[in-house]
Amino acid sequence: MRLKGKVAIITGGSKGIGYGTAKVFLQEGATVMVCSSKGAQDAAAELSSLGTIEGFKVDVSKKEDIQMLVDHVLEKYKRIDILINNGGITQDAQMYKMTEEQFDRVIEVNLKGTYLFSKAVLPAMMEQKYGKIVNLSSVSAFNGAFGQSNYAASKAGLMGMTRVMAKELGKYGINVNAVAPGGIATEMLMAIPEEGKQKRLEIIPLKRFGTPEEVGYLCAFLSSDEAGYISGETIVIDGGRS
């Protein structure tokens, strides 16, 4: 129960890593708000037996959506302790085929969405002199996965933003870190043809894909007081591939 009494917001919480993280946070005692462009209410209903959780439809690229959720949380729970910036999308294409719309939308959601959500919760965290922010990056930021110039750029940008935020916000008792998953068994990965999955497994030393909950455990640690002296870091979780 390392997160007992804490109020957490998890973006992109309807499935995959966000859903797994919400599950872990509830088991650790947190009050959880999950949001997503779709499916957040259903996810909250599925996890409600584990603790206090609410689901909200939020587009992280829209300030008005974000502020609605932040205002609700502050009015009802009086504080925001943890923000997990997990919401993100992919729109893959080789660079010479990628449209401006594909590039802009991925940057808008993955990178600017993290900026907008972080900025919205910071006044509350700064006032209470306490906060934990975890930004979900990706190993794609390091290895430049084929067809993901927009996605890799957004996730590399998150690592840079994390370092700056940590330096600026430390004096307010706010820790900011990033997590870079790779090879996690989400719906997106499982949809890959079997041959493709086997090729990926061959280069993972642990010879298996990670689970969304395993990423959630790492996020829970970074959001706990046990990680009180860790800030500005990016921690890779990819089964040893890196």
Residue 192's pLDDT is 78
Residue 12's pLDDT is 95
Determine whether domain 7-237 maps to CATH 3.30.360.10.
no
- What the block records as the tokens of 59 is 């587009």
User: Which residues, in sequence order, are CB contacts of 38 under 8 Å at separation 6+?
Assistant: 14, 57
DSSP reduced 3-state for 94:
coil
Residue 15's pLDDT is 95
Supply the pTM of this predicted model. 0.96
DSSP reduced 3-state for 74:
helix
* Residue that is written with structure tokens 């690229």 in the block: 61
The single-letter DSSP state of residue 55 is: E
Partners of residue 205 on adjacent β-strands? none
Smallest Cα–Cα separation from 55: which of 17, 85, 12, 20?
A: 12
Residue 196's pLDDT is 81
Residue 145's pLDDT is 83
The CA distance from 186 to 184, in Å, is 6
DSSP reduced 3-state for 180:
strand
Residue 218's pLDDT is 98
DSSP reduced 3-state for 184:
strand
Q: Which residues are catalytic?
A: 151
Reading phi first (left if > 0) and then psi (alpha if -120 to 50, else beta), residue 129 is in left
Mean pLDDT per 10-residue interval, the chain, length 242 residues:
97 96 98 97 98 97 97 98 95 93 96 98 98 96 90 97 98 98 87 84 94 98 98 97 88
- What the block records as the tokens of 4 is 């007992």
Per domain, the residue ranges of the chain are 7-237
The CA distance from 41 to 202, in Å, is 37
Smallest Cα–Cα separation from 23: which of 65, 114, 84, 113?
A: 84
C-alpha separations of 189 from 130, 164, 212 in Å: 36, 31, 12
Residue 187's pLDDT is 82
